[in-house]
Amino acid sequence: MITVAIVNVTSYTALELLRLLALHPDFVVTSVTGRSAVGRRLGDVFPQLYVQTAIDSSLVITEEAAPTALAFVCLPHAAAAVTVLQLLKNGTKVVDLSADFRLRDASTYEAWYKHSHPAPELLATTPYGLCERNREQIQYASLVANPGCYATASILALLPAFAAGVVHESVIIDAKSGASGAGRSPSLTTLYDEVNENINAYSLDGHRHLPEITQEVEAVAGTQARQLRLTFIPHLVPMTRGILATCYTDLKDKTWTTKRVQELYQTYYASEPFVHVVDQSPHTKWSYGSNTCFIHPFVDTRTQRLVVVSCLDNLVKGAAGQAVQNANMLFRLPETTGLTGLAVYP
């Protein structure tokens, strides 16, 4: 068994990691940290863990992680990088769920996150942990930067079209997310009465997942679209889990049909276990609790736009599930290990 630490276990993402790891045959959680709950037992913070399972609910939450082979870091940015450096020094392999190692360029990081990067020397070599794109590098890495939830849905939706070079560089992503993406810290914005029966756009002056999307899509596009003209507007939807990204692009060639773009996408993702190209409009609920991303590309025939709708569970394929997928690869386990659960529906 591979020993696992979860750093900042009191977050929703960490809780989801516990749920997934409970069914994982090779990973065993032996250390959990969390500054706000030091000395408490895991089952005291999350009573639903007091059941018979592979997760030991009597684990005591500590301030520092005990030595383990693998660590999942669920800290906020900046704090994450500092901890990651320490863990790497100890020889622990790390999946970092923060944004700290997602951007290749330290100045871009600093422009968006408003502080200097604690370990810029690692940026160039840390793989962006979207397995569907960077499978090779992840296998040989010690640290993986787990992608953002919005970024995962958006990049997966755009990759095949930009890799094939069939669309122009103008992209609009209108994204919708449930409230769990905002985390477990109480705020007026995420109060039940404010979220329920409401939808609103937010981060209108630029959401931090935008540079990730730009970086990865430009990389796959190569010289064809060096300068993505990307508008990304996220919306908060009254649901707990789920992200739906509706992506609008312009086809270079007017002869594309829905059938042909679906074939292009199906071919691109043919061997991917967690990406499914479907021929109807996908529902976020199809992915509730599962590691699947559903993608539906179609041509808006009146305007010859390529529209791609993608969806996933922001806490699974958008966070904890993808982190386990990355961890599987760090340890050369089959990529789907522990991740074959179906969506909880309805």
Touching a second copy, residues 270-329 (CB under 8 A) = 273-274, 276, 278, 280-290, 292, 294, 298, 300-303, 305, 307, 309, 311
| Cα–Cα dist 181/162, whole Å | 27
Least Å distance between CB 228 and a second copy? 9
Q: Which of 77, 150, 153 is nearest to 118 (CA)?
A: 77
Q: Residue 22 or 164: which CB sits closer to a second copy?
A: 22
DSSP, residue by residue, 234-279: EEE-SSSS-EEEEEEEEESSTT--HHHHHHHHHHHTTT-SSEEE-S
| Position among 63, 121, 197, 253 found at the interface with a second copy (CB under 8 A) | 197
| Position among 74, 130, 330, 343 found at the interface with a second copy (CB under 8 A) | 343
From 149, 247, 293, 311, active-site residue:
149
| Cα–Cα dist 96/7, whole Å | 10
CA diameter of the chain: 64
**41 in contact with a second copy (CB under 8 A):** no
Six-digit token pair at 145?
């930067």
| Position among 95, 99, 230, 295 found at the interface with a second copy (CB under 8 A) | 230
Q: Residue 242 or 318: which CB sits closer to a second copy?
A: 242
**111 in contact with a second copy (CB under 8 A):** no
Q: Is position 149 annotated as part of the catalytic site?
A: yes
Least Å distance between CB 179 and a second copy? 4
| Position among 125, 198, 257, 267 found at the interface with a second copy (CB under 8 A) | 198
- Would you tell me how many other CB atoms lie within 10 Å of the CB of residue 250? 15
Query: Hey, which residues between 13 and 32 contact a second copy (CB under 8 A)?
Result: 15, 18-19, 22-23
Positive or negative, the CA dihedral 70, 149, 241, 180 is positive
The CA dihedral of 17, 211, 292, 80, to the nearest 10 degrees, is -10
Q: Are 20 and 338 in contact (CB under 8 A)?
A: yes
Quickly tell me which residue has 């103008």 as its tokens: 170
Q: What are phi and psi of 277, to 5 degrees?
A: -85, 125
Q: Residue 142 or 170: which CB sits closer to a second copy?
A: 170
Sole window of 73-81, 88-96, 130-138, 336-344 interacting with a second copy (rule: CB under 8 A): 336-344
Query: Hey, which residues between 114 and 173 contact a second copy (CB under 8 A)?
Result: 170, 172
Quickly tell me which residue has 């340890």 as its tokens: 331
Give the number of C-alpha atoms closer than 13 A to the C-alpha of residue 60, restricted to the C-beta side: 6
Number of residues near a second copy (by CB under 8 A): 91
Q: Residue 125 or 185: which CB sits closer to a second copy?
A: 185
**112 in contact with a second copy (CB under 8 A):** no
Query: Hey, which residues between 177 and 196 contact a second copy (CB under 8 A)?
Result: 178-180, 184, 186-188, 190-196
Q: Which residues are catalytic?
A: 149
